[in-house]
Amino acid sequence: MPLRFDYRPYVRAFKSPLQTAHGRWAQREGILIRLEVEGRVGFGEIAPIPWFGTETLDQAEEFCAPLARRVDLSPFPVPRNLPACEFAIAAALQSLSASPYHLKLVPARVCALLPAGEAVLTAWEEPWQKGHRTFKWKIGGYPLDLELSWFEALCSRLPASARLRLDANGGLTLEESQQWLTACDGKAAIEFLEQPLPPSQLNDLMALNHPSLTPLALDESVANCDQLENHLRKGWNGIVVVKPAIAGSPHRLQALCRKYNADAVVSSAFETGVGRQAVLALAEDISPHRALGFGTGDRCWDDWDHLSGEELWERL
């Protein structure tokens, strides 16, 4: 069946640069793809994060360029080393045959990202007023004793129904991880401690994930379907944070979560509304109960989070 592929790269600036383990991240670059077959149109979004192990934007463009404006491309073979492209193609094919998603997020379903450091002590109040009940606080960026004292103060201020996720981005030592777990012990507000150690320390992570302690979640360790499968097969039974937009095939992700009965938290890779709708559709299936890791809404100056594929395509 004649199927036409086209793509348009995009750049969008964050309102304030994000601090990542790899330095400042000031603008999100990605690619919107468009498929057309027999008058039906579908959109998908390639939103790579190279420091999470995905393809680079250049590699994604190299994949797209030879396909552009050609026909008879079905089926699309996407190499496994291009997980963001694989997700985008699958989402676009899916949207060819389905009516567009219009999934709305209520604040209670979204985990609000709080600032690192002492600012956390009051920063939870505004998102709480808006209806958020789950919060994420990044730890590991300040001296341990300081962070632990802020943590105690935060826990004493949070309302009883609030839930708190601590995300270390793999930046703690084994000893520090144990100290954090001790500090969390007995605090009902703590939902989980996320990626205390780097992915290379899987055995230590397994040992720390004790059923009687605060649950652990893996994030950086399970950035794509191959890594997720590897960890689940090795017996990881804690929580897994998945970013579908960079994980590869959504069908494979879904099948893995089902097969291993994975306790998944679905998280954003800072997509536009196009990628987000595809991610949300998946989240309904693989993570219906835990709050979604989608920050607190608009991080960019533009209004692209609220545009349909067609509308965004016309802007680029």
Binding site for Mg ion (CB under 5 A): 167, 194, 219
Count CA atoms closer than 13 A to 252's CA, side-chain side. Answer: 17
Q: How many CA atoms lie within 13 A of 32 on its CB side?
A: 24
What is the nearest approach in angstroms of Mg ion to the Cβ of residue 269? 11
Asked whether the CA dihedral 249, 262, 218, 241 is positive or negative, the reply is positive
C-beta closer to Mg ion: residue 55 or 167: 167
| Min CB(136)–Mg ion separation in Å | 8
187 in catalytic set: no
Cβ distance to Mg ion smaller for residue 94 or 201: 201
Q: Which of 138, 187, 234, 259 is catalytic?
A: 138
Residue of 38, 27, 29, 37 whose CA lies nearest to 10: 29
Q: What is the 3-state secondary structure (H, E, C) of 82-112?
A: CHHHHHHHHHHHHHHHCCCCCCCCCHHHEEE
Rg (CA), the chain: 20
Q: How far apart are CA 251 and CA 87, in angstroms?
A: 9
Nearer to Mg ion, 274 or 291 (CB): 291
Q: Residue with the closest Cβ to Mg ion?
A: 219
Task: Please name the amino acid found at residue 95.
Answer: S
Q: How far apart are CA 291 and CA 268, in angstroms?
A: 12
Do 64 and 10 touch, CB atoms closer than 8 A?
A: no
- Per-residue b or e along 92-107, where b marks 16 or more CB atoms closer than 10 Å to that residue's CB: bbbbbeeeebeeeeeb
Residue indicated by tokens 């893996």: 218
In the complex, minimum distance from the CB of residue 194 to Mg ion, in angstroms, rounded to a whole number: 5
**Min separation Cβ 167 and Mg ion, Å:** 4
Whether 259 sits among the annotated catalytic residues: the reply is no
Pick between residue 176 and residue 219 the one whose CB is nearest to Mg ion. Answer: 219
Contact 57, 31 (CB under 8 A): yes
Residue 33, token pair as written in the block? 């793809």
Q: How far is the CB of 209 from Mg ion (least distance, A)?
A: 16
Q: CB of 127: closest distance to Mg ion in angstroms? A: 18
Set 15, 130, 136, 243: catalytic member: 243
Of the pair 21, 71, the CB lying nearest Mg ion is at 21
Q: With respect to Mg ion, which residue has the nearer C-beta, 86 or 167?
A: 167
Q: Tell me which residues are annotated as active site.
A: 138, 243
